[in-house]
Amino acid sequence: MSRFTVPASSKSWLPVAAESDFPIQNLPFGLADPKGRNMSVVVAIGDWALDLSVLSEAGYLDGEEFPLLDSFIELGEGRLSDLRRAVYDLLEESNPRLRDNKKVRENALVPLEKANLQVPIPPVSFVDFYSGVHHASNVGKMFRPDQPPLLPNYKWLPIGYNGRASSVYASGTKIIRPKGQTKGANDAAPEFGPTREMDFELEMGFYLSQGHEAGKRVTTTAAEDHMLGLVIVNDWSARDMQRWEYQPLGPFLAKSFGTTVSPWIVTLDALEPFRIDGMAQDPAPLPYLRNHGKPHFDIGLEVWLKSAKMKKPQLVCRSNMKNLYWSLAQQLAHQTSNGTPVEFGDLYATGTISGEEEGTYGSMLELSWRGQQPITLDETGEKRTFLEDGDTVTMRAYAQGDGFRVGFGDCSGTVAPAV
């Protein structure tokens, strides 16, 4: 698939701050439900959400080419790229068509703070991988100190599990502390109650633009043609519940209570200038998993933590998407390698993306090293090993270009008390 990359020199007739996540080089897609309007697909530009249904009704977008703009369902293979190019043409600084039509322009532009952004696509299926090799190594060091950090299969296949699609929430949604069974090392029996080890997981994810029927598979070469774009994912975790329940079948209640996604789908077109080779894979993957071209992206990742007593959040993690061992294409190729059918709008998350050094770890489990090294919140002096009620976690991601930034907006959630 050919991709449309906006030149670094391009400008919009709308003013956009240099540090904005949403310059004309980005143009990500979201789903807005502002007060007094119908739900609509929108595009972020600067401090605004551009309502595409308004543009369609006014004749600025071809209704036959883009027939439905209150969801993404008709914007599958290749269509989102075409729509993004049409929006770019309307916003480019030399094009007066929308710029000089005050009535349509003012109706189409909704301030971001009033857009009431939703989950971009409520997924039918959600899969969470384990492709951050440094996170996997850290967990192995903590829980299997007398064994190699990585299990023997880790560098042969992208490990993942099928998560709970019904608990994928929009940024800003409160996450209720889950209850479940936990058992201490010296306890005679488990107990039931709220998790004491609430955690976040810094991840990225991608949505599918098309599905396929049972018995077929997606190759690594074709995988990216099946992707609408990327979002930030916080796959919340209850570590004490997980330790007790995950063997032998893997995560269950400790993961299914909540997953937060950022509101904007950033297209692969916008991320094209930020491609990298990624880390070397040794041993070489089996033929069906071999990468082609530059399959990884240089995308900086941040986690900010704010307690209920704090006025400003504190940066607790800075990582990068280059810390993934398995590429997005490899993840999708492996998911479909057994012939499982996949569908438009399926959501796939990478797993926790940690770096190699302290301050780059993408979970409280690692940052506090299993609770042995509490984090100090500088503003209040509070200590954290895991998350407490009232804590707000905000994740951010961006790729830095020459004079512009392609960002994802905030992926934020606040821990609410158990009920």
Distance (Å, whole) CA 235 – CA 257: 9
Distance (Å, whole) CA 99 – CA 373: 55
Q: What's the total number of domains in the chain?
A: 2
CB 45 within 8 A of CB 36: no
Instruction: Inform me whether the pLDDT recorded for 69 exceeds 80.
Output: no
Instruction: Inform me whether the pLDDT recorded for 77 exceeds 80.
Output: no
Neighbours of 114 (CB within 10 A): 12
Percent of the chain with pLDDT over 90: 92
36 and 137 part of one domain = no
71 and 216 part of one domain = no
Q: Is residue 383 part of a domain?
A: yes
Q: Is residue 352 part of a domain?
A: yes
* The last residue of a domain, from among 114, 140, 162: 114
109 and 131 part of one domain = no
Q: Is residue 8 part of a domain?
A: no
SS3 category, 59? coil
* pLDDT tens-place string over residues 116-129: 999 999 999 999 99
Distance (Å, whole) CA 68 – CA 72: 8
Instruction: Inform me whether the pLDDT recorded for 78 exceeds 70.
Output: no
Confidence of residue 76 (pLDDT cuts 50, 70, 90): low
Q: Are strands 300-306 and 314-320 parallel, antiparallel or unpaired?
A: antiparallel
Q: Is residue 17 part of a domain?
A: no
Q: Which residues contact 390 (CB under 8 A, 6 or more apart)?
A: 307, 308, 414, 415
Instruction: Inform me whether the pLDDT recorded for 282 exceeds 60.
Output: yes
* The last residue of a domain, from among 88, 114, 140: 114
Instruction: Inform me whether the pLDDT recorded for 74 exceeds 90.
Output: no
CATH classification of the domain holding 77: 2.30.30.230
336 and 391 part of one domain = yes
Q: Is residue 239 part of a domain?
A: yes
Instruction: Inform me whether the pLDDT recorded for 75 exceeds 70.
Output: no
Q: Which range marks the domain in which residue 75 is found?
A: 29-114
Q: Read off the tokens for 269.
A: 């077109």
What mean pLDDT value characterizes the chain? 95
Q: Ramachandran region of residue 356, left (φ > 0), alpha (ψ -120 to 50) or beta?
A: alpha
For residue 71, the model assigns a pLDDT of: 74
What is the mean pLDDT of the segment spanning 74-93? 86
Q: Read off the tokens for 145.
A: 């100190």
Q: Read off the tokens for 44.
A: 């972020």
Confidence of residue 355 (pLDDT cuts 50, 70, 90): very high
Q: Amino acid identity of 216? A: K
343 and 288 part of one domain = yes
171 and 33 part of one domain = no
Q: Is residue 146 part of a domain?
A: yes
385 and 306 part of one domain = yes
Please give the distance of CA 222 from its chain centroid, rounded to a whole number. 21
For residue 68, the model assigns a pLDDT of: 66
Task: Determine which helix (DSSP H) or strand (DSSP E) holds 53, and give its type and residue range.
Answer: helix 52-57
Q: Is residue 48 part of a domain?
A: yes
49 and 166 part of one domain = no
* pLDDT tens-place string over residues 150-195: 999 999 999 999 999 999 999 999 999 999 999 998 999 999 999 9
Which residues does the annotation mark as catalytic? 135
Instruction: Inform me whether the pLDDT recorded for 250 exceeds 80.
Output: yes
Q: What is the pTM of this model?
A: 0.97
249 and 199 part of one domain = yes
* The last residue of a domain, from among 114, 143, 176: 114
Distance (Å, whole) CA 362 – CA 319: 7
For residue 64, the model assigns a pLDDT of: 80
171 and 270 part of one domain = yes
Q: Which of 112, 87, 114 is nearest to 13 (CA)?
A: 87
Percent of the chain with pLDDT over 70: 98
Q: Read off the tokens for 91.
A: 């916003």
Please provide the size of the chain in residues: 419
Q: Is residue 78 part of a domain?
A: yes
Distance (Å, whole) CA 356 – CA 138: 9
Instruction: Inform me whether the pLDDT recorded for 220 exceeds 70.
Output: yes
313 and 401 part of one domain = yes
286 and 206 part of one domain = yes
Confidence of residue 5 (pLDDT cuts 50, 70, 90): very high
CATH classification of the domain holding 366: 3.90.850.10
